[in-house]
Amino acid sequence: MRNATQANAFSSLGPTAEEICRQVERILASEEFHAPKRGRNFLEFVVSETLAGRSSFLKAFTIANVVFGREASFDPQNDPVVRIEAGRIRKALERYYLVAGQADEVIITVPKGGYVPHFEYLRDEPASPPAERDHSRTEEPADPNHPLQQEHSPAPPAARRLGAGLPTALVLLLLALASAIFILRGVPTGSQPSALPTVAVEPFAENSSVASGSDIARGLRDDVIGQLAQLDDIVVVTDPITGGRAAAAGYVLQGNVQMDGTRLRSVVRLVRQANGAVIWADNFDADLRVQNKLAIQASIARQIADAIAQPQGVIFQAETDVVAEPVRKADQAAFACRPAYASYIRAMTAQSHSAVRECLQQATRRAPDDAASWALLSLIYLDEVRFRYKLGTPASAESLELANASAERAASLAPDDPKVQRAVMLANFFRGDIDKALAAGTAAYAVDPNDVEVAGEYGLRLAMSGKWQSGCELVAIAIDKNAGLRGHYEGGMAMCALMRGDIEAAEQWARISDPDGNPMRHLALLSILGAAGKMDEARLERDWLQSHAPALMTNIRQEISLRLQRPEDQEKFFDGLRAAGVTVASPPER
């Protein structure tokens, strides 16, 4: 590390510059500090600059240029690379102090909200720890220099040593308030059925003689309730299962926590009450030596909520009897279309598209203030443009304008909803207003960086706008978390590999992107095969496209320009097609 001439100012408040430098060297030398080379460079740089009295210059732009070699044109508003790396460093430091650095005297953290590191001495845990906020679930304040919120990070070591979670009384108060909100939102009472899927969360059992097992079981259930309560498409109730609203719930979430030393396993299942069928079950393993219990609870709870209650979750997959049927009865609510939409995007047929389009049109007329329905309707209109060769819809500028108008209406009703901002992003991207599209994506990602669907779509828009490195990183995260439709993000990764010149990887991603029935993915594979010089295989793809999507083959330039924004990226794609024997029309003269 570089010497810091102004570091002695720290000595009266905490560790000296020499102690901090030794601690950084100790961290970087440890096998338990899991960070890539550029992450290590990141940590060394921000510490050195802080000790040298230059912490005010630790902005995303500076770090991107010095550490990551980004060009002067780097735009921190739209490129999350620094935020992503900062989140990884926070997690790597947390792990180091939990595993190898438990006895270290100097604690180094990078608090959320910026990139200036914090240094302190390890202090003994007080006998009666003060109430501490659960940092694993707290939103980071907005930073005008860094608008992107970082992905979820566990509580920093200092917080881990200072105290536990929310007091029981406060948790009960929050649950009581949540229950009141659920009632106001239309949770069923007595014999009145709810139009939204309703999930009852039972108390989680614990099979352990370790006292912490019971705390984790209770905390995990509270975190699951908190995650589910944030979703608009389901209602969660917490009454005892023997009576009250929970008895009328369509689904019951059951779980238990097992402890074996420091190893933890949570077994969770979702049961349909109508017939007792287990429609989903999973195990979640963790180690208390690697993560603290608050971080473990938050992580597992988020995975459970994503698995069962997101648009692709098992609850909406189970609602197949209402799928792709338009709303016909006047007393059906707007959210009746949401399970139908979830099924449509799995099937992606002209029939299911037409049905869910009618459903959402009626829903927005019946409930004109429902932002979620307007956002979904925007996506349905947009699909008539971006998936028109799969759906068989005619080329129409009207669909794009309807998509934009619906997204704007949703934004006027719920401007801070990340799913609404996702619709705004997509509508504007395909309209060619890239600045507005990326601004909406930035806003959506800032509100909820843990929503992998939002992050993945934002990553695709960043990548196809020319910000390939940071965009592809977000797409890779979405794939790691099994987000999206089958093949959707894999197709994006194929383009990422093609643009960086890794043709072998591009072909592998393209072949697992489930191209069957999707002409645009066949076209991408054709370009990749042409770039690879695989003429026989390219000929098969070309014949398929000529047979199944002849209109696309006469309109290639326009379709690719809708998706790839930079002319140089378009030409790289066209070069592969030309190598495969495809004629690409010249660009229109200006």
Contacts of 300 (CB under 8 A, 6+ apart): 220, 223, 266, 284, 286
Q: Which helix (H) or strand (E) holds 147?
A: none
**pLDDT tens digits, residue range 84-100?**
888 888 888 988 888 88
Neighbouring residues of 342: CB distance < 8 A, sequence distance ≥ 6: 311, 312, 316, 317, 319, 323
**Do 454 and 444 meet the contact criterion of CB atoms below 8 Å apart?**
yes
One fold for both 168-308 and 464-469+476-590? Answer: no
**Per-residue pLDDT at 173 exceeds 70:** no
Three-state DSSP class for residue 36: coil
CATH tag, 319-448 = 1.25.40.10
What are the residues whose beta carbons fall under 8 Å from the beta carbon of 526, sequence distance 6 or more? 538, 541, 542, 545, 576, 577, 580, 582
pLDDT at residue 77 is higher than 70 = no
pLDDT, tens digit, 9 for 90 and up, residues 132-153:
333 333 333 333 333 233 333 3
Q: What is the pLDDT of residue 561?
A: 94
**Per-residue confidence (pLDDT) for residue 191, from 0 to 100:** 36
Q: Describe the chain by its helix, strand, coil percentages, rounded to 5.
A: 55, 10, 35
Confidence of residue 72 (pLDDT cuts 50, 70, 90): low
Question: Using CA atoms, how far apart are residues 548 and 522, in angstroms rounded to an integer?
Answer: 10
CATH assignment, 464-469+476-590: 1.25.40
**Amino acid identity at 266:** S
Q: pLDDT tens digit string along 259-270?
A: 888 888 899 999
Q: pLDDT category, 163, cuts 50, 70, 90?
A: very low
Q: How many CB atoms lie within 10 A of CB 392?
A: 12
pLDDT at 195 over 60: no
Average pLDDT over residues 413-434: 94
Who wins on pLDDT, 349 or 135? 349
Span 453-473, pLDDT tens digits: 888 999 999 999 999 988 998
- Beta-bridge partner residues of 106: 121
Render pLDDT for 287-335 as a digit per residue (tens, 0 to 9): 888 778 888 888 898 888 878 877 667 776 665 444 333 433 333 445 5
pLDDT of residue 128: 38
* DSSP letter for each residue of 201-244: EPPPEEE-SSHHHHHHHHHHHHHHHHHHHT-SS-EEE-S-TTSG
Mean pLDDT throughout 540-551?
93
| pLDDT score, position 549 | 92
Element at 141 (helix H, strand E) = none
Please, are residues 559 and 390 in contact by the beta-carbon 8 Å criterion?
no
Q: How do residues 381-418 score in pLDDT, each as one tens digit? A: 999 999 999 898 887 789 999 999 999 999 999 999 99
CA-wise closest residue to 216 among 253, 254, 256, 172: 256
Domain 168-308: homologous superfamily in CATH: TolB, N-terminal domain (3.40.50.10070)
Domain boundaries, the chain: 7-162, 168-308, 319-448, 464-469+476-590
Which residues on adjacent β-strands are paired with residue 280?
270
Residue 564, pLDDT > 90, answer: yes
**pLDDT for 565 beyond 60:** yes
Please state, rounded to an integer, the average pLDDT across all residues of the chain.
78
Label residues 52-68 b or e (16+ Cβ within 10 Å = b).
beeeeebbbbbbbeebb
- Tell which wins on pLDDT, 131 or 562: 562
